[in-house]
Amino acid sequence: MLYIGGIILFFTLIQLLVAVANTLFLPRLVRRQPSEKPLVSVLIPARNEENNIANLLNDILDQDYTNIEVAIFNDQSDDRTAEVVKQYSERDTRIKLINSDGLPHGWYGKNYACYSLSRKAKGKYLLFLDADVRIGKGLIANSLSFIERHDTVLLTIFPKQIMVSAGEKLTVPNMNYILLSLLPLILVRKSANPAFAAANGQFMMFEYAAYRLFEPHEKMKNDMVEDISTARYLKSKKQKIACLTGDDTIMCRMYAGFSDAVNGFSKNVAAFFGNSLVLAMLFWVVTTFGFIFIILAFSPSVFILYLAAYLLTRVLISRVSEQNIMDNLLFMIPQQLSMGLFILKATVNRINRKYKWKGRYIH
């Protein structure tokens, strides 16, 4: 018992150190124009996004960086996505609609959409955005400036999450809790080790030449978590990448409620643990029930140390993520339970070798 308790205490302190590192050393986008004004291709895969696409297009057209082209890939939507985009393309010639001619065998939908968009792009930089993202006025310029200063071939950002319902507050914060308690994001840029890699497909800005050289969406065409796989692949090829957390210049409401979030996170939760559901389950058990072993193995003073480290980790991650600290502390226990549900559903999906996303079955 003492041995297990010691391991759990050590792991909890490591989580705290990682959270401190992300608090102190994680760079942010700064409001700055790049020294040059290259063409940026803003590329948006869209499947049944009539409720989101207009908001994003308005944000893009409001950017203070104007040397852009915008392409939207209508991925066999059965709503008004195409009609909305056509209306915008009539107002601004920089916007164009690309309609899918069907999903080829062996491809996942989003990966094929991104690949198809890249084949039409003319920009020196390719910015892939999910249709449910909202961006602030200076995001494109600030991102280009970051890439220019740090000489990266990929900049990816985890947007600030908009959480409206209680179900979202019970689920969505788990993503940043896992990420920011296990990985110092500064190492994504500073270390050459592919193990220190993270990415979010909601915002990925590539240097065109590097994208063309490695064609990540084609290589990851049947990968459900192509963003993280792309980051690891580029680092394995000695390419420099960077991963940041977002602020008010990039936000996203990922899911509309509890069930949507559970379904969505079950698709990618294992990717945070090297695609190992065993490691994911161990993480969940330790962070959910670890306090029991600490109580049984150590004195009350050690338990107080453990509890302080655990809570401070939560506070720091909430602060870095620009999430409500009190909400995350109040919902801490149900958040842990929902994380277990993600992992359970991911395990069932893997056993059944079938997963449904946006109306398509992924095998």
| Residue 351: predicted pLDDT | 87
What φ, ψ does residue 56 adopt, rounded to 5°?
Answer: -65, -40
Work out the mean pLDDT of the chain and round it to a whole number. Answer: 93
pLDDT tens digits for range 266-282: 888 888 898 899 999 99
User: What would the mean pLDDT of 314-321 be, rounded to a whole number?
Assistant: 97
The domain 28-255: what is its CATH number?
A: 3.90.550.10
Q: Is residue 60 scored above 60 in pLDDT? A: yes
Residue spans of the domains in the chain: they are 2-24+262-349, 28-255
pTM for the whole structure:
0.93
pLDDT tens digits for range 126-177: 999 999 999 999 999 999 999 999 999 999 999 999 999 999 999 999 999 9
* DSSP character string of 146-161: HHHHHT-SEEEEEPEE
Q: Is residue 360 scored above 80 in pLDDT? A: no
What gap in Å lies between CA 104 and CA 112, rounded to an integer? 8
Widest CA span of the chain, in angstroms? Answer: 70
Q: Confidence class of residue 299 from pLDDT cuts 50, 70 and 90?
A: very high
| Residue 361: predicted pLDDT | 57
Run of H or E residues at 214: helix 208-214
| Residue 35: predicted pLDDT | 86
Q: Confidence class of residue 256 from pLDDT cuts 50, 70 and 90?
A: confident
| Residue 357: predicted pLDDT | 56
Q: Which two tokens stand for residue 138?
A: 């200076």
Query: Tokens 């970051």 sit at which residue?
Result: 146
